[in-house]
Amino acid sequence: MWPWRWQKKLFTGPTVLLGISLSLPDESAFFINVVRLSQVLGSLPLALMKSAAGLMVKRISVPPDRQAELAADFRRTSTRDMRLSLREYLRWLESGADHAVILCRSGVPTWVVHAEKGDGGLTDVERRTLEACPTVTLVTIPGSVFFLPNEVPDQIASVLNDAVAAVSA
């Protein structure tokens, strides 16, 4: 269990979480299996996923120069670092902890932003927990969105502005 009281003293927010999953059922089976395969086969499965993500960038509706920047970012990403960080993320999801409750109990002003489809989701229980939490603002972007900051930058900027304004008041 994380020492939330101690963390709260160090960081009081705001926190904006983009497209995060809070439990294993929220995450795509494809993603989970690629991460698990990387534990056996090393970085190869993630190198393939990284290449696929680079191709997906070509399908999002952003200007060509922004597509090129994003593709270059994916190419520069270390598959070794991806493997290590995603392995820990999967362990976090598999821990069985109720991350929505933990997030709420932290008391940190938090905005949880996700799309209706495409970037992870929330179970019905997690959604109810977050909606009932006085320190959490749940923002659902309509439609299918995979690269939140790039596909809906105005909406993400609005959420960031709201978060800063709320703690500055």
What is the per-residue pLDDT across 85-100, written as a single tens digit (0 to 9) for each? 999 999 999 998 999 9
**Per-residue pLDDT at 25:** 85
DSSP state of 118: S
Same domain for 87 and 127, yes or no, is: no
Mean per-residue pLDDT over the chain, rounded = 85
Q: Which of 47, 70, 95 is the last residue of a domain?
A: 95
Please determine, for residue 77, whether its predicted confidence score (pLDDT) is greater than 90: no
What is the per-residue pLDDT across 14-61, written as a single tens digit (0 to 9) for each? 899 988 889 888 888 888 999 999 989 988 998 888 888 777 888 888
Q: Reply yes or no: is the peptide bond before residue 45 cis, omega within 30 of 0.
A: no
Single out the residue of 161, 67, 155, 66 nearest to residue 113, CA to CA.
Answer: 155
Please determine, for residue 148, whether its predicted confidence score (pLDDT) is greater than 80: no
What is the C-alpha separation between 34 and 44, in angstroms, rounded? Answer: 9
Single out the residue of 144, 152, 146 nearest to residue 62, CA to CA.
Answer: 152
Same domain for 16 and 41, yes or no, is: no
- Adjacent-strand bridge partners of 144: 117
Higher-pLDDT residue of 131, 56: 131
Q: Which amino acid is at 160?
A: L
**Per-residue pLDDT at 8:** 46
What is the C-alpha separation between 20 and 58, in angstroms, rounded? Answer: 23
User: Are the CB atoms for 10 and 108 separated by under 8 Å?
Assistant: no
Please determine, for residue 111, whether its predicted confidence score (pLDDT) is greater than 90: yes
The alpha carbon dihedral of 116, 122, 124, 128 has a sign of: negative
pTM of the shown model: 0.80
What is the C-alpha separation between 73 and 92, in angstroms, rounded? Answer: 25
Same domain for 15 and 57, yes or no, is: no
What is the per-residue pLDDT across 59-72, written as a single tens digit (0 to 9) for each? 888 888 888 888 88
Number of folded domains that form the chain = 2
**Per-residue pLDDT at 5:** 53
C-alpha Rg value of the chain to the nearest Å: 17
**Per-residue pLDDT at 162:** 93
Q: Which domain holds residue 112?
A: 1-23+98-169
Same domain for 102 and 169, yes or no, is: yes
